[in-house]
Structure 1
Amino acid sequence: MSDPRSASTRLGILLSTVRYEERRLLSELDRRGIPVARLDPRTMSFGPGDTEELKGMTVLNREISSQRAALAGESLEAFGARTVNDAAAIRVCGNKWSTYLRLRQDGVPTPTTLLAPTPEAGRAAVAALGYPAVIKPLSASWGNRVSLITDQYAAEAVLEHCAALPSAVARTVIVQEAVRPGSPDIRGIVVDGVCVGAITRSSSDWRNNVARGATVEQHAPDEEVHRLCVRAAAAVGATIAGVDLVERADGSHTVLEVNSRVEFQGFERATGVDVAARIVAAWTAEMIEVEEPV
């Protein structure tokens, strides 16, 4: 990839780990002959000699660490770069309570959610919502530390564990209404205001994360799902987003979470949609032809 100091290189990609998604994006750039600077947030100090070349650069933020992604994004923007997604969206999506507030403020249907900074608040929240309920940390991926609470004993165990964690942020959780736990959920991907398609995820575990072995299949075109995905992405300010939804018993849908650095390996396999091409098109603002949305 190109040297970031090259005058012809006006695109950057922020990453520290190259996964399937990043390989696909880099391959798509190579296929189109588009030069890009690879920026590693672990080595960027943003000193005076390091920042001049960032002015006017457009940087795709694919950093795997939410904290590093937000810090580097804010820094890049302060030194004149444009980031996709921007740091504000990454901050919101990296905090489940912040995401809930944005969705709620914009009228996007989302499960009832309560903030619990202490075990006492957690007990009160579980009592208010009833069983089952879901306890989630403010920031986590792939279903880590997400617990389905079915009785008082489970609630006490999880809240006691959270209380023993080393920081106030780690100890703070949200308690969320459990909407049909164990049923399949839906992941839609939004790129530049368009829902490019959706998949259904199913698992023997109640958490339907592909990283935990969930199976995926293409979700039939659904106007309500596509509309909610676009609304959810707009609510958090994300140009590129993975939106997780679940169907309620009455057939309506509710948005669970929004991911600002979406993984799409299972999505591409199930739908045939070239997500990497769509992201590159939106990021580079090139007028190119891609498949019509599913």
Structure 2
Amino acid sequence: MRRQGKKGLNPPRALESAVDKFLASELLQSHGLDIPHTFCCQDSDTAMEAFERFGKDIVVKPLFGAEGRGILRIEDEQLAWRVFRAIEKIGGVIYLQPYIKHPGWDLRIFILGDKVLGGMKRTAPQGAWMTNVAQGGKGEAYKLNSNLETIGIKACKAVGAEIAGVDLILDENGKWLVLEVNAVPGWKAFAPVTGIDIAREILIYANHS
């Protein structure tokens, strides 16, 4: 599209950087942002060592994915081994992080250029741990402070995006960690709870950039 002279808000490199969870983690960390401890490998034995090191309570994620699809929380050693072996057999990448003990909710911050459009608190369903609205989480407007806004903008710039949804989680020590930067953020849940006309904001931004 860009070679044809057409406007695109996020350059191809930003899309590639955000969709690859491991690359995104590296970029976020290199920009001084706090992220969950992350481990990536392709063999089961090494993954089991990380499972032990992370306290036998981990989250396994597909390297490429969205909306919480394919994410598993594993606390059982035998299950961990079976999952790691299955990924190894198909030549996949084992991407895992320690489970972050959190208050049952996290944040989605919507960034457009240098502007924070708003924040949404996502609360996990009763008895569940995943907060994604696509997985049954409940969204509500959240008033962001300047620190959260700064983290959101910094995370967006770390992957080179102009528009992004930045997901943050509060760990048990009260530290905000960047979980993910979504360079193709939807706003089906975000717009109704925040009252922000995201489509209008994007059109205004595109016409003036």
Fold-level similarity (TM above 0.5): yes
Identity in percent:
26
Equivalent residue letter for 1:186: L
1:102-155 C-alpha deviation (Å, 9 max, x unpaired): 001101111111112222232122222223111111101111111112131221
Residues 124 and 82 of structure 1: is their aligned pair in 2 closer, same or farther, counting only changes over 3 Å?
Answer: farther
| Number of residues of Structure 1 aligned to a counterpart in Structure 2 | 207
In structure 1, which of residues 251, 255, 268 is the aligned counterpart of residue 178 of structure 2?
Answer: 255
1:19-63 C-alpha deviation (Å, 9 max, x unpaired): xxxxxxxxxxxxxxxxxxxxxxxxxxxxxxxxxxxxxxxxxxxxx
In structure 2, which of residues 24, 30, 33 is the aligned counterpart of residue 105 of structure 1?
Answer: 30
Q: In the alignment, which residue of structure 2 is the partner of 1:274?
A: 197
Asked if the contact 1:182–1:206 (Cα under 8 Å) also holds between the matched residues in 2, the reply is no
In structure 1, which of residues 137, 146, 152 is the aligned counterpart of residue 77 of structure 2?
Answer: 152
Residues 206 and 182 of structure 1: is their aligned pair in 2 closer, same or farther, counting only changes over 3 Å?
Answer: farther
Asked if the contact 2:42–2:88 (Cα under 8 Å) also holds between the matched residues in 1, the reply is no
2:50 is the alignment partner of 1:129: no
**Which moved further from structure 2: 153-162 or 264-273?**
153-162
2:114 is the alignment partner of 1:114: no
1:211-231 C-alpha deviation (Å, 9 max, x unpaired): 122111111232221111111
Equivalent residue letter for 2:29: R
Q: In the alignment, which residue of structure 1 is the partner of 2:109?
A: 188
Deviation at 1:82, TM superposition (A): 4.4
Deviation at 1:81, TM superposition (A): 4.0
Structure 1 residue runs of 4 or more that deviate by more than 6 Å after TM superposition:
none
Equivalent residue letter for 1:264: W
In structure 1, which of residues 220, 237, 241 is the aligned counterpart of residue 164 of structure 2?
Answer: 241
Q: In the alignment, which residue of structure 1 is the partner of 2:21?
A: 96
The SS at the match of 1:174 is strand
1:154-206 C-alpha deviation (Å, 9 max, x unpaired): 211221221233xx3xx102111221257211100000121111111112232
Q: In the alignment, which residue of structure 2 is the partner of 1:48?
A: none
The SS at the match of 2:24 is helix
Asked if the contact 2:58–2:74 (Cα under 8 Å) also holds between the matched residues in 1, the reply is yes
2:121 is the alignment partner of 1:200: yes
Q: In the alignment, which residue of structure 2 is the partner of 1:227?
A: 150
Residues 257 and 79 of structure 1: is their aligned pair in 2 closer, same or farther, counting only changes over 3 Å?
Answer: same
Asked if the contact 1:114–1:175 (Cα under 8 Å) also holds between the matched residues in 2, the reply is yes
CA distance in 2, matches of 1:121, 1:281: 49
Asked if the contact 2:102–2:170 (Cα under 8 Å) also holds between the matched residues in 1, the reply is no
Deviation at 1:277, TM superposition (A): 1.2
Residues 150 and 181 of structure 1: is their aligned pair in 2 closer, same or farther, counting only changes over 3 Å?
Answer: farther
Matches of residues 48-87 of structure 1 in structure 2 within 5 Å? 76-87=1-12
Equivalent residue letter for 1:188: I
Residues 88 and 202 of structure 1: is their aligned pair in 2 closer, same or farther, counting only changes over 3 Å?
Answer: same
The SS at the match of 1:265 is coil
Larger radius of gyration: 1
Residues 226 and 173 of structure 1: is their aligned pair in 2 closer, same or farther, counting only changes over 3 Å?
Answer: same
> Which of structures 1 and 2 has the larger relative contact order (alpha carbons within 8 angstroms, sep 6+)?
2
Equivalent residue letter for 2:107: I
Question: For structure 2, which runs of at least 5 residues remain unmatched after alignment?
Answer: none
Asked if the contact 1:182–1:207 (Cα under 8 Å) also holds between the matched residues in 2, the reply is no
TM-score by length of 1: 0.66
CA RMSD of aligned residues (A): 1.7
In structure 1, which of residues 267, 276, 283 is the aligned counterpart of residue 206 of structure 2?
Answer: 283
CA distance in 2, matches of 1:83, 1:125: 40
